[in-house]
């Protein structure tokens, strides 16, 4: 599993925080790769591409609007790898119940830079 995201505060990277959560809370015990330089979604995709060149399937897991944007960016950067995208569980009932509406609004606002056809394509 690859976790991608740099540090926003000078502390631990987002990738490290997500990996720690996956291990300690979710009990994930598989192989973990960290990409810790990214500061934007575009950079997340760019910096992970070398790590996924030889995989059979690509699953992007994130908040729904962010995952949609990352999938669109993968299609722009590497259409050949985007063909390997498989569905992911972007939302689970009750998850982030209080902040979910705010995250949804923010996510919709960040999607304004996508082309119309990229907004419609969920995979």
Domain count within the chain:
1
Query: Token match 């995979």: residue?
Result: 123
C-alpha–C-alpha distance, residues 43 and 9, integer Å: 17
Question: Is the entire prediction scored with pTM above 0.85?
Answer: no
Position 9 pLDDT exceeds 90 = no
pLDDT-based confidence at 40, cuts 50/70/90?
A: very high
Where are the extended beta strands (E) located within the chain?
A: 2-4, 33-35
pLDDT (tens digit per residue) in 59-111: 998 888 888 899 999 999 999 999 999 988 765 556 555 655 666 666 666 66
- Which CATH number characterizes residue 89's domain? 3.40.50.620
Query: Domain of 11?
Result: 2-120
CB 48 within 8 A of CB 40: no
Q: What is the pLDDT of residue 37?
A: 95
CB 31 within 8 A of CB 54: no
Bridge partners, residue 33, by sequence: 2
């Amino acid at each position: 599993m690859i976790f991608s995201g740099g540090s926003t505060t000078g502390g631990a990277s987002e990738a490290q925080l997500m990996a720690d959560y996956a291990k300690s809370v979710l009990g994930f015990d598989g192989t973990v790769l960290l990409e810790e330089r990214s500061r934007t979604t575009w950079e997340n995709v760019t910096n992970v591409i070398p790590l996924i060149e030889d995989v059979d399937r690509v699953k992007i897991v994130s908040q729904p609007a962010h995952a949609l944007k990352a999938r669109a960016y993968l299609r722009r950067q590497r259409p050949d790898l985007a063909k390997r995208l498989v569905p992911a569980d972007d939302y689970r009932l009750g998850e982030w119940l209080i902040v979910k509406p705010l995250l949804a609004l923010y996510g919709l606002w960040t999607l304004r830079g996508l082309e119309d056809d990229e907004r419609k394509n969920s995979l």
